[in-house]
Amino acid sequence: YSYAMLGQIYGIRGRHRQATRYFKLSRAMAEKLNRPGAMIFSSNAHIGYLAGTGALAPLTDMVSDSVDLSEIYGDRQDAETSWVLKSHVQYFSGQMESSIETAQLAIDSARERGNRQNEAQAEIAKARALIATGNFVVAVDSLNRVKSNLRGLSDLASELVCFGLLGLALIRQGKLGEARVEAMECLARCKSCEAVAFSTLHGYEAVAEVCLVLWQEARKQKSRYTKSLAEHAQHALSHLENFTSRFPVGRPSLILLKARRAIVSDDIRKAGKFLELAMTESRRVKIPYIEAQVVFELSRFAGTPPHLRNHYRTTAQDLFWRMRSQYFIDELAAAAKASRE
């Protein structure tokens, strides 16, 4: 256990050679002593570390082994932790429906034994995939349960992600006022919460998207709140950038959101450069959900040559269809209809 925790500490500090060494030592010691619980802990810690670095390719097999080991030898705590990790890995690889199903296993187990924190963290994993598939009403219900479960637990990181995702689910339903309330709660926690886990990414990227949409709408309406909303968007992006300096898995999201900021600012040249870089990074790290959103932006980007927009629209539709991301499928259909009129 100590070696695995040292691996986590060195990983957070960016000392990757030492982190890798301690994870290897942890696994070797656990196997030598034939301690399944220690093997599971070591494996899950290593998976979390690799996910944070953006090394996602080997995680599918690793997390499947961890889940198998947990279900055979581990206790309920081990199984719930492994299921939530598997849900994260499935989300990153674009398997949204599987991510929801896996998270539900952890929710049911944690709820049965009254572990509110584990239940909340599993509900967050589920809600994040629900939002990706466009099931916003179900996601909002789930996240409101999380808010209730987190009361009195002093889990700022989970609160940050919960409020960020709740704001995102609301703004994608067009509920700007309610989304702004949740975004402000998330930003307040961004100031006081130190990122120590890769999964916090989903709160940082969600609140940044919400703030950018609010700023964009304020600009359209020539609202007196435009300046303050622009500042909120900048703060949200700064928090995400700080997170990414520790957990590089957030880099594709950060670059995509910087492209969206440039689009809102009418800086076409900068937006084009960021979109190109976001495409490269999302493919390098292998996060199809981000790649699909980049292609979606290119399909409606003012700097995209007209003859390429339909190609990007078709490509984005195919990517989103594979992930069952109904919200973006509908957005693409609406854009295609508007272009024909």
Classify residue 277 by burial, with Cβ atoms within 10 Å: 0-12, 13-18, 19+.
middle
Beta strands in the chain (DSSP E): none
pLDDT in tens, the chain (341 residues): 678 888 888 888 888 888 889 888 888 887 778 788 888 989 899 999 999 999 998 899 999 999 998 988 878 889 999 999 999 999 999 999 999 999 999 999 999 999 999 999 999 999 999 999 999 999 999 999 999 999 888 899 999 999 999 999 999 999 999 999 999 999 999 998 888 899 999 999 999 999 999 999 999 999 999 999 999 999 999 999 999 999 999 999 999 999 999 999 999 999 999 999 999 999 999 999 999 999 999 999 999 998 899 999 999 999 999 999 999 999 998 887 777 66
Cα separation of 202 and 127, whole Å?
11
Q: Give which of 130, 132, 126 is closest to 146, Cα–Cα.
A: 126
CB–CB of 167/210 below 8 Å?
yes
Q: By C-alpha distance, which of 339, 312, 341, 340 is closest to 328?
A: 312
CB 85 within 8 A of CB 46: no
Whose tokens are 């961004």? That residue is 190
Task: List all residues 6 or more positions away from 249 whose beta carbon is below 8 Å from its beta carbon.
Answer: 51, 52, 53, 54, 56, 92, 198, 201, 285, 287
The sign of the torsion formed by the CA atoms of 82, 87, 252, 130 equals negative
pTM, rounded to two decimals: 0.93
> Helices (DSSP H) in the chain: which residue ranges?
2-12, 16-33, 36-53, 59-73, 76-92, 96-112, 116-132, 136-150, 156-171, 176-192, 201-221, 226-246, 251-264, 268-285, 288-300, 306-323, 326-340
Angle formed by the axes of helices 201-221 and 251-264, nearest 10°: 10
CA 208 – CA 293 distance, rounded (Å): 15
